[in-house]
Amino acid sequence: MNRIEIIAKVKELGLVTEKPAHQCKTEYLEKLLSETHGVSVKQKGRPVNASSNRQIRLQELEARRAAGELKRGRPIVEDSNRQIRLSLMGTLLLGRKPNPESAAYKRRMELEERRANGTLKRGRPAQVKAE
């Protein structure tokens, strides 16, 4: 069975999947079909030799990954110039300094103050109903 036929079979049988059937992996759908309705799907590709060097290496990598021992990427030097610069990025003000005398700055500060006090009315004002 190809992928399209497997998806059609899952939908036909009304099986519940974690995501929509077309977004699930083929192996997951095959397993679901074989467990619930005994639909056998022929194994594709070459059989896996569990005692091969590659499979042993992959199992060791998976075990190290699960244990949290697998280190990836280049190690970080904490006292390097770049790390110091990155740690300061959140505290440094970037860009042009605002003019405290400008109307836009005053309006922005007033809005921030009202927002902090909780007196800022949000949204569109209610329409007055004429009776």
pLDDT tens profile 7-48: 888 888 888 888 888 888 888 888 888 887 766 666 678 888
Residue pair 51/59 in contact by the 8 Å Cβ criterion: no
Q: Is residue 99 part of a domain?
A: no
Please check the confidence at residue 60 and state whether its pLDDT lies above 90.
yes
Q: Is residue 87 part of a domain?
A: no
pTM, 2 dp: 0.31
Q: Is residue 20 part of a domain?
A: yes
Task: Give me the DSSP letters along 52-106.
Answer: SHHHHHHHHHHHHHHHT----SPPP-TTSHHHHHHHHTTTS--SPPP-TTSHHHH
Amino acid at site 85: R
pLDDT tens profile 93-124: 778 888 999 999 999 999 999 999 988 888 88
Number of domains in the chain: 1
| Residue range(s) defining the domain that contains residue 31 | 3-37
